[in-house]
Amino acid sequence: MPTHTSSIPTELRIIPRDQHPISRRGISPNALRVLYRLHEAGHRACLVGGAVRDLLAGLAPKDFDVATDATPEEVRHLFRNCRLIGRRFRLAHVVFGREIIEVATFRANIDDGSGDRQVHDDGRLLRDNVYGSIEDDAVRRDFTANALYYDIADFSVRDYVGGFEDVTHRVMRLIGDPETRYREDPVRMLRAIRLAGKLGFDIAEDTAAPLPGLAPLLSEAAPARLFEECLKMFLSGHAVASFEGLERHGLLAALFPETAAALASNRSGALRRMLVEGLRGTDRRVAMDEPVSPAFLFAVLLWPAYCRSLMALQAQGLHTVEAERRAADRVTLHQLSTIALPRRFSLPMQEIWLMQARFSQRQRKRVVRTLSHPRFRAAFDFLVLRRAASPAHEDDIAFWQEAQGDPDMAIAHQADPGISDGADGEVPRKRRRRRRRHAAGE
Ligand code: ATP
Ligand code: MG
């Protein structure tokens, strides 16, 4: 079947070693080993994709992919530490301890990202891919910046679609007709936002223009793939840039419909402030190499939706505790139709939300129980985050900060008797006011 990419014109430009900044010092020694061995065996061997793009943009690549005219079987015969993966389109993985160099044979036709293992794992129907020339391989890629080849034969960069110039001008541009390419694979819309955010690139005008109109196509993408793409967008150190990009290009509502609706109706902007602050914290942690959890991330991303749902349920007269539980379930369930958030993340996410109400309790038994809850740390960090939305949480933050060291001291320090719940569970007036603010997400 002829595909769109076969009609995309190419024009080869070779950028010699002395006219580009890529040095072998920036390339993983294992990737170089693979490139040299293929080359010495008489094959064409190039570094390709994100690694070439990142090196040209002055970033350290997170992995190194190799493209070659050797078939996977030929690759396997050259490397002892090689395994072949993929069913319809086979890829070679050359394994060096924890580093895997992915070696792909030049291929033709469109790519729906199916070279990725996670797409295979979805069981999604894969399109037929056939081996092709290096030109075919270039035009089936998504962005011009991703279609550059660093050739180990002469250390030149080979550019078939104008990617070198685009990287120089810091522009993300789709190869071919943008609308056609988004329709082939809607996840490319998210890749545009994510890569522009990561690299600090602009999105070319004709690449950006179709985004708001095509946003609904995202609902056709596999929810598991959207989950993976979300992790890449928000847990790679560029969460704020990704979020702002989604907003700017009209994609937020397609990915997080209920959060988008809640943000739109929250006139004070408190919910958005808190969400962005949460993403900023995530970016800081990634920058400092600290662990980040998808559960906490999604607790942040869906908190506006949770608050909105909670308010609606309370307005229907539901008791707070019941309303909280139902709001958490409802928001999770609705979001699952777009993004396949696995239960091992959605359950702790819900716990983080449901624990927020516990932070206003001062009864000794409850305080001790809250402190020993396995989700205490994450829930407390979340409470601290809510300060970005409202100063109303200062008292609670101070209390729980102290309670972590000495719960009895913290309780004794509660000078204002109005703060503690009565033994009979009667909620004092001040408390009630605060609960309403909590429901409003502030
Ligand atoms: P990073 O690894 O920094 O997230 P990347 O560009 O390397 O970015 P990968 O998902 O590793 O992203 O993909 C490797 C290469 O495969 C890309 O550079 C691109 O050339 C090609 N590619 C990936 N996804 C698609 C897609 N959906 N459509 C077309 N080509 C794609
Ligand atoms: Mg990559």
* Residue ranges per structural domain of the chain: 4-176, 222-404
Residue 438 has a pLDDT of 53
Give the number of C-alpha atoms closer than 13 A to the C-alpha of residue 342, restricted to the C-beta side.
8
**Measured between alpha carbons, how far is 346 from 15 in angstroms, rounded to an integer?**
48
Predicted pLDDT at 4: 59
Question: What separation in Å is there between the alpha carbon of 115 and the centre of ligand 1?
Answer: 9
Q: Using the Cα atoms of residue 65, residue 70, residue 73 and residue 74 in order, give the sign of their dihedral.
A: negative
24 CA → ligand 1 middle, Å: 22
**Predicted TM-score of the model (pTM):** 0.88
Q: Which two tokens stand for residue 104?
A: 């792909």
- Could you state, in chain order, the average pLDDT of each consecutive group of 10 residues for the chain (442 residues)? 67 97 97 98 98 97 96 95 89 96 88 42 48 94 98 98 98 97 96 97 98 96 97 98 98 98 95 96 97 97 97 95 97 96 97 94 91 94 91 90 86 62 39 51 53
Cα 105 from chain centroid (whole Å)? 28
The pLDDT assigned to 271 comes to 95
Is-catalytic flag, 154? no
Residue 87: the pLDDT is 80
Instruction: Classify residue 205 by its DSSP letter.
Output: H
Contact 158, 128 (CB under 8 A): no
- Report the C-alpha dihedral over residues 46, 51, 52, 57, rounded to 10 degrees: -170
The CATH number of 4-176 is which of 3.30.460.10, 3.40.190.10, 3.40.50.300, 3.40.50.360? 3.30.460.10
Q: Nearest C-alpha to atom 1 of ligand 1 is from which residue?
A: 50
pLDDT confidence of residue 20: 98
Q: DSSP states of 213-229 as a string? A: HHGGGGGGS-HHHHHHH
Query: What is the dihedral sign for C-alpha 56, 57, 59, 65?
Result: negative
Considering the four listed CATH numbers 2.60.40.1220, 1.10.3090.10, 3.90.550.10, 3.90.1300.10, the one that applies to the domain covering 222-404 is 1.10.3090.10
CA of 51 relative to ligand 2 center, distance in Å: 7
Closest ligand, as measured to the CA of 185: 1
Closest protein CA for atom 27 of ligand 1: 113
| Residue 442, pLDDT score | 53
Please identify which residue in the block is written with the tokens 């598991």. Answer: 224
- 65 catalytic, yes or no? yes
Residue 138, SS3 per DSSP: helix
